[in-house]
A and B are shown apart, each in its own frame.
With several copies, the nearest count.
Chain A
Amino acid sequence: MSDSALRKTPVIWPLIGLALLVVLNAVMNPAFLRITLLGGHVYGVPVDILVQGSRTMLLALGMTLVIATGGVDLSVGSVVAISGAVCAILLQGGTALAVTLAAAVGAGVFAGAINGVLVARIGIQPIVATLILMVAGRGIAQLIVGGQVIIIASPRFEFLATGFVFGLPFAPLLVGLLFFATHLFLRRTAAGLFVEAVGDNETASRFAGLAAARVKALAYVFCGACAGLSGALTAANIRAADAYGAGANAELDAIFAVVVGGTALTGGRFSILGSFLGALLIQTLTTTMYNVGVPPAVAPMPKALLIIAVSLLQSERFRGWIAGVRTRKRRAIA
């Protein structure tokens, strides 16, 4: 990432939000931060947050690129369901783990390719184009599993979501690695620039010699791949493919994470690190609500409030306005 202050700014707000939440939790329940060793691996609320959050992080990773190109992918939740269904059916049939995982990611890539073609080649508006798979995808997943919740009995598969290496949880490690690799790829090569360019002004990028349509399509494919892997993690986590419930509303969380992380829905500049923090923030909030004991009926409120707060802080106009009020006050006093 560039060292310019501009790029770093968006990361500040989710970081502050995260810090506030951690303090709140630690005050409400001092055990919150306690990490112990249990059966040779780390154990504690922060570990849970990372493990549970890893699936949303993965979705946010793909979504970041799609949003950076000026689009949005509403179908990720359905792709999670499809990919989970594929995993379950294949594992049930005794397919090797590697093949299964490849198939899961492959299903995501396929879905992403459909979205990419619809958006980038045919020019359908992203919300509409991806809504189609969002709506139809869950039906497809249900067809794959025949309307059943299919139980997965493969410890090695389960390891993906709940395993530990060197005492550390595997899923967050994997996801963290993917974030890092993506970040390196995007910023060390020109790919990140291309994505931002296409998102900022597609026509101008095309005129400058970029294959803008290809860049956009690839963003959807990447997003699909992430969703596919996230689907495998989801299935591994509950040891079952739940075509009806898996990934429900996941697209909202992913979009929230990206937006809270400072990437604008209008496209252009993006922040991979921001999306990571955004997803972490959202998961921490969810866990906080359990920890603090917010009654289930009002549970959606804090999330809404958090998102509005971060969005407000990120809005230049709002900051300017606040600054203006302060100056005016100071002036009035003087």
Chain B
Amino acid sequence: RPRPKKPLTIGFAQTGAESAWRTANTVSMKSEAEKRGIDLKFSDGQGKQENQIRAVRSFITQGVDAIVIAPVVETGWDPVLREARRARIPVILTDRSIQTSDESLFSCFIGSDFYEEGRMAADWLAKHTGGKGRIVELQGTVGSAPANERRKAFAEGIAKYPGLKILDAQSGDFRRANGKEVMESLLKKHGRTIDIVYAHNDDMALGAIQAIEEAGQKPGKDIVIVSIDAIKEAIQAVVDGKINCTVECNPLFGPKVYDTAAKLLAGEKVPKKLFNKDELFDHTNAATVVASRQY
């Protein structure tokens, strides 16, 4: 394949370093760049959009070949993206998309499909429980996009199965400690009527597992547990039979992002919306991937 004479320079405006998922995401971007000999200009936005905008501007002045943004918020990107277009630098959005009146301002979006994740969880449940069971839902941080999407998709997914009922829903803030605490309360409130736990992320599920064990029940057996993210620890829990299923929210964006960037720079057309492939892990396949899991 034709190698560019000069190594590619790509600017990446990351959101921050707020979670293990994000760290894995950063690592993937960096290590993959190293592997491919790409000069990656990395910038940490510390959770602030203005920082990211500033970073993007500096990428433009430095004349990078492509810009990758993991936007902190969905809105307010138009001005800086216009500047990038003026400088003819393609922009790839990752992880979260943006809201804009002019879709041509960015080349494509590569992300995790939170909605799809929620739907996959619902489908798996429907299939493996025979469409029956009382569910408690551990929601993510109120108002956040993944929590919103995963809640909506799941609700819509189980709507077709009248036997699947949401008994209770509380926010565990995506945190392990809160997941545990909420689960403890719900266990006491609903006694042994809980059949299923649906957690918006693995951390909360892992917290809930502890609560269930401390209540003298067997997670994965007495109570079916479904969660999202598929971090290594959760896949191990699937292997151990404590989590029944975890839907991947793959943070390893590196390969896909750089592939896409190369295509864009070569003038190829790419779809506007690309999803990083998310898999689903349950007892059938967890054991095979757990060893090779990096995060």
A and B touch in the complex (CB under 8 A): yes
B181 within 8 A of A: yes
What is the 8 Å Cβ interface bit string for chain A, positions 126-143, against chain B (1 contact, 0 not)? 000000000000000010
**Inter-chain contacts of B210 with A (CB < 8 A):** 162, 238-239
A299 within 8 A of B: yes
B43 within 8 A of A: yes
User: Does B99 contact A240, Cβ atoms closer than 8 Å?
Assistant: yes
**Inter-chain contacts of A243 with B (CB < 8 A):** 143
User: Does B57 contact A147, Cβ atoms closer than 8 Å?
Assistant: no
**Inter-chain contacts of A39 with B (CB < 8 A):** 216
Tell me whether A149 and B54 are in contact in the complex, defined as CB-CB below 8 angstroms, given that A240-B76, A296-B16, A300-B46 are known contacts: no
Closest Cβ neighbor of A243 among chain B residues: B143
**Inter-chain contacts of B180 with A (CB < 8 A):** 237-238
Closest Cβ neighbor of A142 among chain B residues: B143
Of residues 283 to 316 in A, which have CB atoms within 8 Å of B's CB atoms? 286-287, 289-291, 293, 295-297, 299-300
B171 within 8 A of A: yes
B28 within 8 A of A: no
User: Does A238 contact B188, Cβ atoms closer than 8 Å?
Assistant: no
Closest Cβ neighbor of B75 among chain A residues: A240
**Inter-chain contacts of A245 with B (CB < 8 A):** 49, 72-73, 173-177, 203
Closest Cβ neighbor of B101 among chain A residues: A153
B207 within 8 A of A: yes
A227, chain B: closest CB distance, angstroms = 15
Tell me whether A296 and B177 are in contact in the complex, defined as CB-CB below 8 angstroms, given that A148-B20, A238-B207, A238-B210 are known contacts: no
**Inter-chain contacts of A29 with B (CB < 8 A):** 189
Most buried by B among A162, A237, A244, A248: A244
**Inter-chain contacts of A287 with B (CB < 8 A):** 54, 181, 185
**Inter-chain contacts of B14 with A (CB < 8 A):** 296
A52 within 8 A of B: yes
User: Does B99 contact A299, Cβ atoms closer than 8 Å?
Assistant: no
Q: Which of A38, A151, A234, A290 is the one whose CB lies under 8 Å from B58? A: A290
**Inter-chain contacts of A300 with B (CB < 8 A):** 46
A11, chain B: closest CB distance, angstroms = 25
Closest Cβ neighbor of A234 among chain B residues: B177
Cα separation A48 to B58 with both chains bound (whole Å): 11
B18 within 8 A of A: yes
Cα separation A245 to B47 with both chains bound (whole Å): 9
Q: Which of A31, A162, A286, A291 is the one whose CB lies under 8 Å from B191? A: A31
**Inter-chain contacts of B42 with A (CB < 8 A):** 296
B222 within 8 A of A: no
A45 within 8 A of B: yes
Of residues 44 to 84 in A, which have CB atoms within 8 Å of B's CB atoms? 44-45, 48, 52
User: Does B143 contact A52, Cβ atoms closer than 8 Å?
Assistant: no
Tell me whether A238 and B171 are in contact in the complex, defined as CB-CB below 8 angstroms, given that A244-B144, A297-B142 are known contacts: no
What is the 8 Å Cβ interface bit string for chain B, positions 199-219, against chain A (1 contact, 0 not)? 000010011001000111000
A159, chain B: closest CB distance, angstroms = 12
Closest Cβ neighbor of B173 among chain A residues: A245
User: Which range contains the number of A residues in contact with the other chain?
Assistant: 35 or more
**Inter-chain contacts of A48 with B (CB < 8 A):** 54, 57, 181, 184-185, 188
A81, chain B: closest CB distance, angstroms = 10
Tell me whether A296 and B171 are in contact in the complex, defined as CB-CB below 8 angstroms, given that A147-B20, A237-B177 are known contacts: yes
Cα separation A148 to B23 with both chains bound (whole Å): 8
A83, chain B: closest CB distance, angstroms = 14
Cα separation A176 to B167 with both chains bound (whole Å): 35
A54, chain B: closest CB distance, angstroms = 11
Cα separation A246 to B178 with both chains bound (whole Å): 10
Tell me whether A239 and B181 are in contact in the complex, defined as CB-CB below 8 angstroms, given that A147-B20, A293-B168, A296-B142 are known contacts: no
Cα separation A132 to B77 with both chains bound (whole Å): 31
A110 within 8 A of B: no
Cα separation A147 to B53 with both chains bound (whole Å): 25
A242 within 8 A of B: yes
User: Does A237 contact B76, Cβ atoms closer than 8 Å?
Assistant: yes
The 8 nearest A-B residue pairs measured at CB: A238-B76, A296-B44, A240-B75, A296-B171, A290-B185, A244-B143, A147-B23, A245-B175
Task: List 11 A-B pairs, Cβ < 8 Å.
Answer: A31-B189, A38-B216, A39-B216, A151-B75, A238-B176, A239-B210, A244-B20, A246-B177, A290-B54, A293-B189, A296-B46
Residues in B lying within 8 Å of A, measured CB to CB: 14, 16-20, 23, 26, 42-44, 46-51, 53-55, 57-58, 61, 72-76, 78-79, 99, 101, 139, 142-144, 148, 168-171, 173-177, 180-182, 184-186, 188-189, 191, 203, 206-207, 210, 214-216, 233
Residues in A lying within 8 Å of B, measured CB to CB: 29, 31-32, 38-39, 43-45, 48, 52, 142, 147-149, 151, 153, 162, 234, 237-240, 242-246, 248, 286-287, 289-291, 293, 295-297, 299-300
Beyond A245-B174, A296-B17, list 5 extra A-B contacts (CB 8 Å).
A148-B20, A149-B99, A286-B51, A290-B170, A291-B58
